[in-house]
Structure 1
Amino acid sequence: MAPRAQWKGVLRIGAFTCPVALFTAVSTSERIAFHTLNRATGHRVKREFVDSVTGKPVPAEDQVKGYETADGRTVTLEPEEVAAAVPESDKTLDVTGFLPCDQIDEIYLDRSYYLAPADAGAETAFVALREGLRKAKAAALAHAVLFRRFRVILVRPQDEGLVATLLNFDYEVRSARAAFADVPQVKTKGEMLDLARHIIDTKRGTFDPAGFEDRYEAALAELVKAKQAGKPLKPARKAAGGKVIDLMDALRRSAGTAGGTPSAKAPKKAPARSAKAKGAKEAPAKAPAAKSRRKAG
């Protein structure tokens, strides 16, 4: 059964148009979902909006939106006033420009959707756009009204179709400076860097999402299955407490378990002294000639 399109419209680049359909790329519908029940009766409970002061229920027709200002006052908005602020959709994905794929800051990427031709008549134009983007290694920057909001969208080729990714607005993305402000400027030593590279190289692989395990979802499934069968529940395993360890020792151990330590020359063993040498009086060693010190660069 073909998936149902979330949105249908026209992708437009100047005079070039192509009917397209938007399909869900990421869904959480397969996750385990719970209902909230009354423990005593087993009946499902429902939510009800009540006045925070009087405690009395407030019917839907008496509910309005409110925005609290910095000085503590509340601005009240009627439902029709909020609805009037929703931009009108013209069902157009309007491309405003193109940019190299390697210039895209991934922190701005939000939710992605698959973009496909809306009908057989759009296939030729769709393929031309897809292959043009692929050969140019470029992405199209577009905007449209989707799901009652104005959205900025990044369109990129993928497999036989296109992927449309909603972008976060600049005001929504927090500056990294605040998060990294307390990270010290530490100079990494050569041995530590070599060990880190060795661990990375021995653990290097390919991106395979099929190998990712949702442990929480798996634990919930086991819990539901056990309760349904009337089996006793397994006690939860406690996570081992973290220990403060030396970073170099940890890297060396990781390198050893990751498939061998980096190659290093073994220290030469000093030759055993003969019995004659042990009894003989050693001549005083000559002081080595002084060497000029090399200044650190």
Structure 2
Amino acid sequence: MPRPLWTGAISFGLVTIPIKVVSATENHSISFHQYHLEDMGRIRTRKVCELDGEVLSQDEIGRGYEVAKGRTVPVTDEELDRMPLPTAKAIEIVAFVDADSVDPVRIGDSYYLAVDGQVAAKPYALLRKALERSEKVAVAKFAWHNRERLGLLRVRDDAIVLHSMRWPDEIRSPESLAPRDVELEEDEIDRAVQLTDSMALDGISGFKDRYREALEDLIAAKSEGKELPEPREGEEEESGKVMDLMAALNASVDAARESRGEEAGGEGATVHEMKPGTRKRAAKKTAKKTTKADSGKKPAKKAAPRKRTAS
């Protein structure tokens, strides 16, 4: 088991569940160091006191809050530990909600909650079963890293997962970001939906970090004195070029079909843009045909698009 990040308990009504918190994710990013270009000496960061210029060790450094310019109030670890918060030593469950009622933008890091001792096994299993049977997630409060946080508890396989969450006032409004007064034609929307169907997958487990793989190849080639990998050839898009939306959608659908081994340009593959003067006439013709059609006749069902695999 990974090293615990925090040890405490889940507070579930009057039930207390001793737990250990471990990270649910791993960071596989490649990290670079900074070096002096002239002699490749490593660049180091030191903590220096701005008053006397002394380089300080960690045990000489404390924390404080600047209440006014030139006036800082020191705060010790002991004072933080004595704060009267019920969440200081426990993950306190305060409510249960439907999972789809939680905006994903509020969800942050994820952690596994592991039982701390055999005595915690039964209440842990009880909470897990309650979450599964109710089909809800638990909202909890907990105090980490000098602040009280909001969390979400849910079940993943046989473990309870804690997702840290952002408070409502930490979420920025997207109101001014979305484009306004954009007119879309029905054939454009239909074609975009066809594209989403063509790109549908059963899951996302097959995706890989291509950038990291390419970076590993680059580092390996340089360390072994080999020739560097050639960059991928591709056409660069011209900046500011006006895009033919329908042509781009048609080409995208064809490409998606070809990637699944299907024939491009199949049924419904070509969409012709209607001239402004012909849209109303076409709509009237469609309405007349609809009234003449047999009202009891059921429309033919479209075949479900075949799912593709991730690459």
- Does residue 15 (structure 1) correspond to residue 19 (structure 2)? The answer is no
- Per-residue CA deviations over 1:243-289 (Å, capped at 9, x if unaligned) read 432101111222223324463599xxxxxxxxxxxxxxxxxxxxxxx
- Does residue 198 (structure 1) correspond to residue 194 (structure 2)? The answer is yes
Alignment of 1:86-235 (within 5 A): 88=83, 90-180=88-178, 183-209=179-205, 211-234=206-229
Range 190-199 or range 33-42, more displaced:
33-42
- 2:294 is aligned to none
Count of residues paired in the alignment = 257
Measured in 2, the distance between the counterparts of 1:252 and 1:265 equals: 7
Q: Report the TM-score, using the length of structure 1 for normalisation.
A: 0.74
Alignment of 1:4-43 (within 5 A): 4-28=3-27, 30-43=28-41
Unaligned runs of 5+ in 1: 267-290
Whether the 8 Å contact between 2:109 and 2:164 is mirrored in structure 1 is yes
Q: Which amino acid aligns with 1:97?
A: A
Deviation at 1:230, TM superposition (A): 0.8
Whether the 8 Å contact between 2:63 and 2:76 is mirrored in structure 1 is no
Report the RMSD for the aligned CA atoms in angstroms: 3.2
Deviation at 1:42, TM superposition (A): 3.5
- Per-residue CA deviations over 1:125-172 (Å, capped at 9, x if unaligned) read 111111111121111111112233321111111110111011112222
Identity of paired residues, percent?
26
Measured in 2, the distance between the counterparts of 1:10 and 1:265 equals: 58
Deviation at 1:226, TM superposition (A): 0.9
- Per-residue CA deviations over 1:103-129 (Å, capped at 9, x if unaligned) read 111111011101122222222211111
Unaligned runs of 5+ in 2: 258-263, 271-283, 288-311
Higher radius of gyration, 1 or 2: 1
Q: Which amino acid aligns with 1:200?
A: T
Measured in 1, the distance between the counterparts of 2:8 and 2:269 equals: 67
SS at match of 2:177: helix
- Per-residue CA deviations over 1:195-246 (Å, capped at 9, x if unaligned) read 111111121112223x222233222211210111112334545761244321
Measured in 2, the distance between the counterparts of 1:5 and 1:249 equals: 54
Measured in 1, the distance between the counterparts of 2:152 and 2:76 equals: 31
SS at match of 1:163: strand
Measured in 1, the distance between the counterparts of 2:177 and 2:77 equals: 35
Measured in 2, the distance between the counterparts of 1:59 and 1:206 equals: 56
Range 18-27 or range 186-195, more displaced:
186-195
Deviation at 1:97, TM superposition (A): 1.2
